[in-house]
Amino acid sequence: MKLIRAILACCLLAATAAVLARPSRVLDDFSTIAAWQAQASDGVQAGAGVADGGLRLDFDFAGKGGYAFVRRSLPLDLPDNYEISFYVRADAPTNHFEFKLTDASGENVWWFQRQNYTFPKAWQLVRIKKRQIVFAWGPTKDRQLKHADRVEFVVSAGSGGGKGSVYIRQLAIRELPPTPATWPAPVASASSASPGADAGNAVDGNAATAWNSAAGKEQRLVIDLGMAREFGGLLLRWQGRRHASRYDVEFSDDGQQWRTVRRVTEGNGGDDPLRLAESETRYIRLSLHAGPASSYALSEVELKDLDYGATPNQFITAVAATAQRGLYPRGFSGQQPYWTLVGVDGGGDHSALISEDGAVEAKQGGFSLEPFVLDGGRLFSWADVEVTQSLRDGYLPLPSVTWKQATWAMNVTAAASGTPASSQLLMRYELKNLTAATRKLTLVLVVRPFQVNAPRQFLNTPGGYSAIHELAWDGKAITVNGNAQVYPLQAPAGIALSSFDAGLLPQPVQHRNLSARTVTDDSNGMASAALSYDLTLPPHGAVVLGAVLPMAGQAVAPAVQGGAAGWLAAEQEKVAAEWRGKLNRVTLKVPAAGQHMSDTLRSSLAHILMTREGAALQPGTRSYRRSWIRDGAMMSEALLRLGQADIAANYLRWYAPYQFDNGKIPCCVDLRGADPVPENDSQGELIFLAAELYRYTQDKAALAAVWPRVKAAAGYMETLRKSESGGLMPASISHEGYSEKPMHSYWDDFWAMRGYKDAADMAAILGHEAEARSLAAARDQFRHDLYASLETSMRRHGIHYLPGAEELGDFDPTSSTIALTPGGEQRHLPPAALNATYEKYWDFFRTRRDGGRAWDDYTPYELRNVSAFIRLGWRERATELLDYFYADQRPRAWNQWAEVVGRDARQPRFLGDMPHGWISSDYIRAALDSFAYERESDHALLLAEGIPIAWLRGEGVALHGLRTPYGPLSYTLAQQDDGVMLRVEAMPRMPPGGLIFSWQGRQYTIASLPAVLHIDGAPL
């Protein structure tokens, strides 16, 4: 009777659902397209027409980034549950495809988005459930979509770009029944060619339980869910060894017509997690094929929710939650992981990552090679050892990870050698015996379908899962997906290759014949491979092993000369020597208390060099693998000061030609071309970059070559200025804090102010007198309007600090630093407001640091405030800021910051790129400003304004080779008796305002060089 009641309940619920279901309502049959309008971003062409019984959207990206779309007004009240559908086909390359709904304001947007969508050639029905339409952006606080006023179909530039046509027809909506408060209990029934099969039914509504079959031919288990349900996967729990190694999972809507959705060919028993993303069916059938088991026994078939299979990352995270801790990387195990970059100068497109735990990823989005150690039958992972990190010489981009256990330690060191066109990752694994007895260990290096880039990373390159469909071993290398390789430098004792269904390595390594297979295929994209090395370590001895992973260029086996360990050591030392030459053109001599500043300075320069992609400077190689002019201009300033003028010049030559015909500078450029999004700081930033290059190089020919683009950018700024009643830059989203809705950001205006000043100066240098006068007049008028606006905004909002945006009156000191550096507006800014801004920030900072303010995360862009404090004469406060930021380097030994720092270091979150090139440039500016910076008002160089007084004791500090617009600057500064001694070497040109050194409240000006300044004063 219990089974009968369950079946009756299922029938009743199904019937009720059928009553509630309503037919689709056509929203637009596209018999006419008069209501639709086609538009496109700058430089992109779009058109709309009627074709093939529907709407045709034509687009041509013309080698640029951007988008093309069709839009119409379509007021629509949305039911509590619904499905929107349409048919689509295209003659178009792979690009991003979006369906958007907006409210009446047009400012709040909801969308269904498919990244790098391969458009179907034949008509295909697209069904979009309510849950799949998510809030995209806008100022609204209520993000639940209840009513829409406009509909859009959008094609935006993805990996394909190019041009093509997308066809849409039969846009419809269907109201769906509400989700039942309780689901009917599923009912299981079994059949086979042999007697003895038995099935039971579950009682919790999510699982069918207790099925036993007799030996024989194919067995089938059918589960009736009672009504159609959406779910994300299944979990099969087998009893002991009575598992099927080969079986199919099939779906049916009516119990008659079946479709195969998953095929298992190498099941290994235990729990079988099956990802079945976006599944919807009433009937599930397991067809178990005859195999070695004498009979099958399932204790439970558990239905998993949609989140379980929504993405590979969510699936892996769910599986990892029930696995032994350490078998999966931290990012899948509930902990925030950290990593650093390993690359060659200019090779950002083929750079590697190493995790804090020693796993490496040789290419963007690629698989990882992760170490494990077998000791006495126990498998050791990152979770079982003490893990620390270090850099070669304390600053070189040759990172190491050390595992330490009671009796042994392992050191993993990574280095990238070669050129941007041909590079390889050199991996060194050293195992040390910490005891006086001989020890036997097994090192297991596992190729895994996980990136080092963490699963919470979602911009540009989604992190986490990295599909491995095919693995092969040819006796010399493991080949992944037919192209990527791992070349072990020593022959392993065994090789294991496994599909996910057979078991994710290294877990099966302990009981698997390591030489049993040479090729494996995994349709699920989760294959793995393990190289095992049986090692005998003498008392207090060590063994070194190595591997080479190609990064860029043609993969070839490494030409090892002599012993592998010696060759590897020599190759890594060559890499170290090359980096020493690049990173030590400017040097700081500091006491032990300041060594971290010096090390982080040089590491930060390495971060910028490694993240750049050829001539393109970019803030990262994963999330931010794009070149923003704002980032590039500020990174270029750092490069100029550190003796890397050629890189900054190459960047300007590469970026400037992407300027639009109207003079507009694109905010960023990537593989798709120039991005058309209007960000009104861009013009000033490109002009500033051109001016800085001339100031540091005095290359007048290069200045003349770029002048037409500078002139056009300044002209575009004039067009923008005159379009606004207040005479400032229009509202934009260039400041990331205003991405929900464009604002009149003073960030834009201070960059525009910088651009006006530099454009006027460049015109005068080149002898364009009329243009110089015109630009100077525009500069002065813009400055007048800018400061009038600041005063009006502060008065309107009743604030005494500098606002971030005119209409908001918001507090944003990190943005306001642009007015000081590189803006150079300190003498024009209202002194009281300037002081109040950074006093307020200081109070905010101390409260946060000392635990008086609740906070979740922040971005180390705040490093800019160090430079602001130095310019305000707040030496001690600047030091306290730096000490605080140093504490949030993760790991500190790698001298880096992520774009986002969380209060809880292990709370999983999006980090941006790590390291982040723009933040590295902010740090470089702060560190160098501590030793010397130029005051724009009189073009004087101010010395040692940010150096802690305590550092001057003993041998003091020294700066050598810092590039300035007047040539290299070198000096030493140390306490001597009851005063200080400053020695400054000669420079090619004397700064117009001289060199200024402040001591005990007095300023001393050096007017000629070389110079020795001895200042008596109170004891330090």
Instruction: Kindly report, residue by residue over 297-334, the tens digit of the pLDDT.
Output: 899 999 999 999 999 999 999 999 999 999 999 999 99
Q: Please, what sign has the CA dihedral across residues 928, 929, 930, 931?
A: positive
Q: What are the residues facing 743 on neighbouring strands?
A: 732
The tokens for 345 are: 């100068």
First CA to last CA distance, the chain: 93
Residue 388 has pLDDT above 80, yes or no: yes
Q: What phi, psi does 171 have (nearest 5°)?
A: -80, 125
Residues of the chain with CATH 2.60.120.260: 187-310
Q: Which residue has the higher pLDDT, 177 or 597?
A: 597
Alpha-carbon span 62 to 819, nearest angstrom: 37
Q: What pLDDT band is residue 853 in, cutting at 50, 70 and 90? A: confident
Q: Please, what sign has the CA dihedral across residues 379, 381, 385, 388?
A: positive
Alpha-carbon span 532 to 440, nearest angstrom: 13
CB proximity list for 883: less than 8 A, separation 6 or greater:
none
DSSP letters spanning 588-637? EE--GGGHHHHHHHHHHHHHHHHH-BTTB--S-SSTT-SEEHHHHHHHHH
The residue count of the chain comes to 1020
Residue 15 has pLDDT above 70, yes or no: no
- Contact by Cβ (8 Å): 579, 396: yes
Q: What pLDDT band is residue 63 in, cutting at 50, 70 and 90? A: confident
CA distances for 806 relative to 8, 381, 685, 825, angstroms: 66, 54, 21, 18
CA distances for 989 relative to 215, 452, 965, 993, 1008, angstroms: 93, 49, 9, 11, 10
CB proximity list for 312: less than 8 A, separation 6 or greater:
275, 464, 465, 467, 525, 526
CA distances for 295 relative to 99, 201, 244, 263, 290, angstroms: 50, 20, 9, 20, 9
- Contact by Cβ (8 Å): 807, 813: no
Residues of the chain with CATH 1.50.10.10: 587-592+605-618+626-935
Query: In degrees to the nearest 10, what's the CA dihedral of 138, 142, 145, 148?
Result: -60
Alpha-carbon span 468 to 447, nearest angstrom: 9
Q: What pLDDT is recorded for position 129?
A: 94
Per-residue pLDDT of 537-592, as tens digits, reads 999 999 999 999 999 998 888 888 778 999 999 999 999 999 999 999 999 999 99
Q: What pLDDT band is residue 8 in, cutting at 50, 70 and 90? A: very low
Alpha-carbon span 722 to 706, nearest angstrom: 25
Q: What pLDDT is recorded for position 221?
A: 94
Query: How crowded is residue 323: how many other Cβ atoms within 10 Å of its Cβ?
Result: 15
Q: What pLDDT is recorded for position 423?
A: 97
Residue 21 has pLDDT above 70, yes or no: no
Residues of the chain with CATH 2.70.98.40: 335-582
Distance of CA 832 to the CA centre of its chain: 39
Q: What pLDDT band is residue 207 in, cutting at 50, 70 and 90? A: low
Residues of the chain with CATH 2.60.120.430: 25-175
> 216 — alpha (psi -120 to 50), left (phi > 0) or beta?
left
3-state SS assignment for residue 799: coil
Alpha-carbon span 752 to 685, nearest angstrom: 8
**E strands in 105-202:** 109-117, 124-129, 134-137, 147-156, 163-175, 187-192
- Contact by Cβ (8 Å): 923, 642: no
Per-residue pLDDT of 107-125, as tens digits, reads 999 999 999 999 999 999 9
335-582: CATH topology = Beta-galactosidase; Chain A, domain 5 (2.70.98)
587-592+605-618+626-935: CATH topology = Glycosyltransferase (1.50.10)
Q: What are the residues facing 114 on neighbouring strands?
A: 97
The tokens for 635 are: 């990174």
Per-residue pLDDT of 620-664, as tens digits, reads 999 999 999 999 999 999 999 999 999 999 999 999 999 999 999
CB proximity list for 383: less than 8 A, separation 6 or greater:
325, 326, 333
Residue 753 has pLDDT above 80, yes or no: yes
Q: Which residue has the higher pLDDT, 860 or 852?
A: 860
Q: What is the CATH number of domain 187-310?
A: 2.60.120.260
Task: Look at 779-788, 876-885, 929-938, 975-984 and tell me which has the smallest mean pLDDT.
Answer: 975-984
Alpha-carbon span 123 to 132, nearest angstrom: 21
Q: What pLDDT is recorded for position 621?
A: 97
Residue 564: CA atoms inside 13 Å, Cβ hemisphere, count? 18
Give the rounded percent of residues in the chain with a pLDDT score beyond 70: 94
- Contact by Cβ (8 Å): 643, 928: no
Q: What pLDDT is recorded for position 241?
A: 85
Q: Report which DSSP code applies to 130.
A: G
- Contact by Cβ (8 Å): 497, 520: yes
- Contact by Cβ (8 Å): 494, 445: no
- Please name the helix (run of DSSP H) or strand (run of DSSP E) that holds residue 160, with its range, or none: none
- Contact by Cβ (8 Å): 424, 416: yes
Alpha-carbon span 255 to 263, nearest angstrom: 19
The tokens for 651 are: 């960047």
Tell me the CATH architecture of domain 25-175: Sandwich (2.60)
Per-residue pLDDT of 911-935, as tens digits, reads 999 999 999 999 999 999 999 999 9
Is 261 exposed, middle or buried (CB count within 10 Å of its CB: 0-12, 13-18, 19+)? middle
Q: What pLDDT is recorded for position 206?
A: 57
Q: What phi, psi does 388 have (nearest 5°)?
A: -130, 165
Query: How crowded is residue 909: how many other Cβ atoms within 10 Å of its Cβ?
Result: 15
Token pair 């078998």 is found at 327
Q: What are the residues facing 673 on neighbouring strands?
A: 670
Residue 397 has pLDDT above 90, yes or no: yes
Q: Strand 995-999 vs strand 940-943: parallel, antiparallel, or unpaired?
A: parallel
| CA-based nearest residue to 744, from 726, 732, 756, 727 | 732
Distance of CA 701 to the CA centre of its chain: 38
Alpha-carbon span 722 to 729, nearest angstrom: 9
Q: What pLDDT is recorded for position 708?
A: 98
Residue 205 has pLDDT above 70, yes or no: no
The tokens for 1015 are: 């200042």
Q: What are the residues facing 389 on neighbouring strands?
A: 401
- Contact by Cβ (8 Å): 402, 434: no
- Contact by Cβ (8 Å): 247, 287: yes
Q: What is the mean pLDDT of the chain?
A: 92
Per-residue pLDDT of 954-999, as tens digits, reads 999 999 999 999 999 999 999 987 789 999 999 999 999 999 999 9
**E strands in 392-483:** 399-404, 408-418, 423-433, 439-448, 470-473, 478-480
Q: What phi, psi does 914 have (nearest 5°)?
A: -145, 110
Token pair 């008509």 is found at 123
What is the maximum alpha-carbon separation in the chain?
Answer: 105
Per-residue pLDDT of 683-721, as tens digits, reads 999 999 999 999 999 999 999 999 999 999 999 999 999
Is 695 exposed, middle or buried (CB count within 10 Å of its CB: 0-12, 13-18, 19+)? middle
Alpha-carbon span 331 to 692, nearest angstrom: 42
Mean pLDDT across 471-480: 94
| CA-based nearest residue to 745, from 729, 757, 758 | 729
Mean pLDDT across 344-372: 97
Mean pLDDT across 767-784: 98
